[in-house]
Amino acid sequence: MSFIFQQLAIADVVLVETSAFADERGQFWEAYKRSAFVASGIAYTFVQDNFCRSVRGVLRGLHFQKSAAAQGKLVFTVRGEVFDVAVDIRRGSPTFGRHVNVNLSEQNRRALYIPPGFAHGYCVLSDEAIVGYKTTAEYAPDLDRGIVWNDPTLKIPWPIRHPILSGKDQRLPRLTEAEIDFVFQAGSKP
């Protein structure tokens, strides 16, 4: 088993690919191995695992927690396929307000590492999807914030026009009005 770590257009966001072992019983692959992640420069400790089941057309996000409980995330899909997005919300960053997006699926076994200082969201492309993600900080409801999914300044090419949204996600502010307290620090490492 091995991992391939690929820096994306926003260098702090990392696409992680893994190999699988397949036989007549099915497949086996490693989603996370601390030693491999540390060797690649991702040395955060993950403290909470989450799983979310959603149906086609559901869009979740764009979510983040304020810096006092900032979460890095390792996001992967156990079933189905999602269009996954990370938006840089670190003030002063040369990529502030820009995003990266990738498709994560059970077939491609990709994961996306999103460091603290990014908003995260995804929409479901398959009939059903089960998304798992490891976080570097526990959920803190009082510090939970977000940005509306269709903020025109973000220019995210969502593959859906009329998503199924939670009431909370429908009321999220635009980037310019969001409670963002992240500041970019040149030379920082995820």
Radius of gyration of the chain from its Cα atoms, rounded to whole angstroms? 16
Would you say residue 68 lies in a domain? yes
CATH code of 122's domain: 2.60.120.10
Q: How far apart are CA 116 and CA 103, in angstroms?
A: 21
Residue 62 lies in a domain: yes
Query: What would the pLDDT profile of 125-176 be if each residue is shown by its tens digit?
Result: 999 999 999 999 999 999 999 999 999 999 999 999 999 999 999 999 999 9
* DSSP string of 36-65, one letter each residue: HHHHTT--PPP-EEEEEEEETTBEEEEEEE
Domain count, the chain: 1
Q: What is the pTM of this model?
A: 0.94
Residue 129 counted as domain residue = yes
Cα–Cα dist 163/56, whole Å:
9
Residue 190 placed within a domain:
no
- Mean pLDDT, range 112-117, rounded to an integer: 97
Task: Just list the catalytic residues.
Answer: 63, 133
In a domain, 85, yes or no: yes
Q: What does the pLDDT look like over 55-81, one tens digit per residue? A: 999 999 999 999 999 999 999 999 999
At residue 7, the pLDDT reads 94
Domain of residue 71 covers: 3-177
Q: What is the DSSP letter of 90?
A: -
> Burial letters for 85-114: b for 16+ Cβ neighbours within 10 Å, e otherwise?
bbbbbbeebebbbebbbbebbeeebbbbbb
Indicate whether 105 pLDDT > 90. yes
pLDDT digits (tens, 9 = 90+) for 7-62: 999 989 999 999 888 889 988 888 899 999 999 999 999 999 999 999 999 999 99
Extract the runs of DSSP E, i.e. beta strands, from 136-170: 144-146
